[in-house]
A and B are shown apart, each in its own frame.
Chain A
């Protein structure tokens, strides 16, 4: 059976993936486009004895080849020449989607249109006439509702029928004489005539497309083409300041005429997405709504997860007692009870809030709100010298800074990217949560939600201020603007939400079982031993004995640094080990205070080592000071050693200054 290559293309969020899945079923494979890490999906489709290889091209708005996605899509169509290009267009947003159709026709692609989301366009009060659209564009138009699988069989049929059809020519009246003049010269090169659509080459030459210019440079007609092009430009510049813009205007004029004829508006209707967007992306209301939703997310995370934490807490308490009383060897019993079980228990007790946080964030992502959050915050970002796309890694940073820093790869400009990487560790990752929850519970009972939210806000504010400073002094220049696509709001898909939540929670569990576990053993070992040797398990219950341990030695060495904050040496040790993973701070404190996770807040509150002000300063210090080892590693990988060291140093300095400011100002006020 002969295999025919067809390509799927469309604007983002038009339902391209759903149609791809519907056409290919399970016969799909995913890889990367050669040379780049952009996903390449391919699948197979059999219809009436024909086998099609379906290539899913990246979602693009146009084929100007400014971005990597556009380059991939354009190169595939120009070089691979698929037999049919299926353009999935959103019927509820016809005009914007038609721009890509015109560009495909310019290339000479054999286009079949899947007019998707006709149900949504109906909901909006539009009546799109597929037959009229087909007549006006000269290409087959198949109405579909991909989410319900409607129209897919018809689409397969029309693809098969269109295999050897000749695509129509889109004429641009104001530019036709110039296009024809250029074609006349271009067609003298047989190689160009054989390989490319000359009309497309001519249009792209008028747009000063660098890739097409490079093609012409290699042509034997190069000099003639350039001479003609100069003449054409001389003529056109008398009429237009910007030829590329004038061509775009010409396309939009044609699109507008087509839309006017093919679409009738029934009545003024509004969709739920439009209603929510009217408010959630409102110029003034958008930001307070964002902060309200964030507060609700954190309230859910902490207040609703508490009973589950208490169950884990009770389990580890029981396990510690059982293990401790059933092992005769003091050192081994202490290692298991006070080191491993107490240390690990004090970290795992935060598994429910972390899982709940991931759950609520997955739900916000799945619902489509996160894209709105990015959109709303985009305006703010720009004021602080950040690129709009920086918002996404920043929000991701609430989960974990490591993937968030890797997500900065979507930023094209190197300055924007490094700037975003540098401020990302200031986003409160889930590992800081146990520390906040512990201290908020111990010193701000009844106001935990507010205090914890304030930590998140502090991180965001510091990130913005630093971005502004770095932009002013290090990365001079303006960040570029970008157009953001807002997907429609979705009903929650609980399978996806729970799947994402589990994947993220699993990472925390793995970390708890490796880095945190190992650190807890080290902390225990350094607590029950000292320069004089093994001190016995009593060291964890007797402050006199503990004072002779190695951890106390480390703590005292650090004490002068933390003295201005009023913290004791145990806090210094916890921060020292917290460098490995922030969750370790809590585990270390659990061991040093010689209590289980249940009693730790009370032990802290009654230790006199902290006041509410110094506790708040400690939380702020944990938020800002050195990111975990993994984060530093990924900064080094993404930005280089110089910037990793810079991040380390500036964060230490900033943490010190902010904590000091909190202690001084808070002390003066209270």
Chain B
């Protein structure tokens, strides 16, 4: 793996998480902006997305300096991103139980698409970031 790849991936994911983190945070304060998926309106979602963005962007900063530790930020960032996506999938699963098995009143007309969140989409995309870094302990990053 080349440091150049780390540089691009951390920049792309850092920027994506930054944009969606800001959208989620602003939506909490009443400013709605829908880009692909509607924001959740939860301030903490914004906080978590901005945290992940900060991780990726710190990695980008290190990659610019050809520091092999940049990989750590890509790795940890993608792990957190995927973890968040798994959480989103579990929430959808819980919604499906409510809607289709328990037939809860609150879930009448519910569809899995209703619970598709920005962090689910970004988390699924982060699988690409993770795949690029998952073997880094065996194949160390090339800084030159």
Contacts and interface: CB of A to CB of B under 8 A. Distances in A.
Decide whether A and B assemble into one complex: yes
Given A289-B55, A292-B80, A269 B140 contact: yes
18 contacts: A270-B72, A275-B75, A278-B72, A278-B73, A279-B55, A285-B54, A285-B58, A288-B50, A288-B54, A291-B51, A292-B47, A295-B47, A296-B48, A304-B93, A305-B94, A307-B94, A307-B104, A450-B44
A288 B47 contact: yes
A299 B43 contact: no
Interface residues of A, number: 37
Contacts of B97: 307
Interface string A304-315: 111100110010
Given A285-B51, A303-B90, 13 more contacts: A269-B137, A270-B72, A271-B137, A272-B75, A275-B71, A276-B79, A279-B73, A279-B77, A282-B58, A289-B80, A307-B98, A307-B101, A307-B102
Interface string A444-487: 00110110010000000000000000000000000000000000
B17 to A, nearest CB: 12
Interface in B24-81: 41-44, 47-48, 50-52, 54-55, 58, 68-69, 71-73, 75-77, 79-80
Nearest to B141: A270
B76 A279 contact: yes
Contact of B43 (A123, A267, A446, A450): A450
A568 B79 CA distance: 48
Nearest to B75: A275
A269 B136 CA distance: 8
B91 interface: yes
Interface of A: 123, 125, 267-272, 274-276, 278-280, 282, 285, 288-289, 291-292, 295-296, 299-300, 303-307, 310-311, 314, 446-447, 449-450, 453
Contacts of B91: 299, 303-304
A272 B137 contact: yes
Contact of B44 (A269, A285, A295, A307): A295
Contact of A270 (B42, B58, B71, B93): B71
A311 B102 contact: yes
B131 interface: no
A253 to B, nearest CB: 29
Q: What range describes how many residues of B lie at the interface? A: 35 or more
Q: Label chain B's interface by main secondary structure.
A: helix
A447 B102 CA distance: 23
Contacts of A447: 41-42
A310 B137 CA distance: 45
Contacts of A299: 44, 87, 91
A394 to B, nearest CB: 21
Contacts of A268: 68, 140
A469 to B, nearest CB: 28
Given A300-B90, A446-B41, A310 B72 contact: no
B34 to A, nearest CB: 17
B75 to A, nearest CB: 5
B84 interface: yes
A285 B83 CA distance: 17
Interface centre among B91, B98, B137 (most CB of A within 10 A): B137
